[in-house]
Amino acid sequence: MVEGENILRRYFVMNGFDGALTAFGIILGTWIAQNYSDPKTLIFAGIGASFAMGVSGFTIAYLTEKAERVREIKELEEQMVADLNDTAITKASFWTSLVVSFVDGLSPFLFSLAAMIPFFFVYIGLPMLTAYIISTVIVTVEVIVLGLFLGAVSKENKIMYALKILPAALLVAGLTYLLELISRIGGG
Between CA 160 and CA 148 the distance in angstroms is 8
pLDDT in tens, 151-164: 999 999 999 988 98
Angle at CA of residue 178, ends 173 and 183, nearest 5°: 130
Mean pLDDT of 88-117: 89
The share of the chain scoring above pLDDT 90, in percent, equals: 40
> What's the gap between Cα 64 and its chain centre?
18
Between CA 60 and CA 47 the distance in angstroms is 20
* Residue-by-residue DSSP string for 56-112: HHHHHHHHHHHHHHHHHHHHHHHHHTS--TTSHHHHHHHHHHHHHHHHHHHHHHHHH
Between CA 53 and CA 171 the distance in angstroms is 21
pLDDT at 1: 47
Q: 65 to each of 16, 30, 87, 96, 147, how far by Cα in Å?
A: 18, 36, 18, 8, 26
pLDDT in tens, 18-55: 999 999 999 988 888 776 667 888 889 889 999 999 99
